[in-house]
Amino acid sequence: MNRLTYSAPGKVFLLGEYGVLAGGRAMVAAVSRRAQGTTNPAAPPPTPVVAAAIQLAEGHGCKRLGDGITIDTRAFYDGPIKLGLGSSAAAAMIATALATEQEDETALDLAVRAHRNAAGGGSGVDVAAAFYGGVIASAQQPAPVSPLPSRLRGLELYILATKEATSTADFIARAQAYSGFVAAAQELSRFAEEGIAAWSKQDAARFLSVVALVGRRLERLGADAGIPIVTPVIAEAMRIAGRHGAAAKPSGAGGGDVIVLFAAEEKVADEVARGAGLTRIDAKVDPVGLRRERAPG
């Protein structure tokens, strides 16, 4: 008997990661590191995000799931190190699809709630990226989602790993406790809108300028709030990128995990990685979001 199986991509924040917490839009790309989940009668006890998805699905009137759920997120790790590519958001989307047997916006809404319940908050835009795939712009969920072109002509997206794990919830809480957070978030939101417009118009030069501005503004927010959003390693990557006519910034809460780099040539990504002591991640924009997979019988 075939078991129900879904997969969903990871994500990187391109712009707007703190601004989205104050009402702005974020720009997020789904990436080609996919989690895969299936119903499984021999599944171990559920993780918090899977348990939250099952509970919400049952509360929504879905039939009680007889089997457990197993989700494979090994693609989101480099050995024992979690890369920070949104494995919990992908898991929330997959678990909800399995628990509801739905693949629509209702499942997305429940997945966002499940992820928030398990993580203690969050914008939900990462879950939306796992659902839609590609590059999207959206505000804190639920909110309209705008699909964007999957790439910007003349530039390539590179993802570099710091191999330093960060507590997103801790960084967000500390940032929001800072008295100047709202003003900083609003400024970051304005930059995000400029970047979204430049991406939509395929204006590579303007987009690079915005990425560099955001990197510096995140560095200032971290300094003012006493949070290492831009670590010395990330600052060095940003410096080297700028020297080569490229631009880099933290993705997500910062402090570690991954950074995004936009450059015209691959050799620039290699130079930034080598010079800052980072590791290039083999991943690109994934145009496919939540997907039902064929499972072996």
Structural domains of the chain, ranges and CATH numbers in brackets: 5-150+284-290 (3.30.230.10), 156-280 (3.30.70.890)
pLDDT of residue 297: 52
What are 229's two structure tokens?
A: 């959003």
pTM: 0.95
Q: How confident is the model at residue 107 (pLDDT cuts 50, 70, 90)?
A: very high
Residue 96 CA from chain centroid, whole number? 18
Give the three-state DSSP class for 163. coil
Average pLDDT estimate for 290-294: 93
Residue 165: what pLDDT?
Answer: 80
Question: Which amino acid does the sequence have at 214?
Answer: V
Beta carbons within 10 angstroms of residue 235's beta carbon? 16
Query: For 262-284, b where at least 16 C-beta lie within 10 A, e where not — what string?
Result: bbeeeebbebbbeebebebbebb
Tell me which H or E stretch contains 218: helix 204-225
d(CA 242, CA 220): 17
pLDDT at 2 over 90: no
Residue 247: pLDDT over 50:
yes
> Using an 8 Å Cβ cutoff, are 295 and 211 in contact?
no
- What percent of the chain stands above pLDDT 90? 84
pLDDT score at 295: 62
For position 209, what pLDDT does the model report?
Answer: 98
- Residues 6+ positions from 22 with CB-CB distance below 8 Å: 181, 182, 185, 186, 189
pLDDT for the residue 75: 97
Give CA–CA dist 190/187, Å, rounded.
5
Structure tokens given for 223? 């300094």
- The DSSP element (H or E) to which 243 belongs, if any, is helix 232-243
pLDDT tens-digit profile of 21-65?
A: 999 999 999 999 999 999 888 888 889 999 999 999 988 887 666
Q: Looking at 141-150, 249-258, 262-271, which range is the least confident one?
A: 249-258
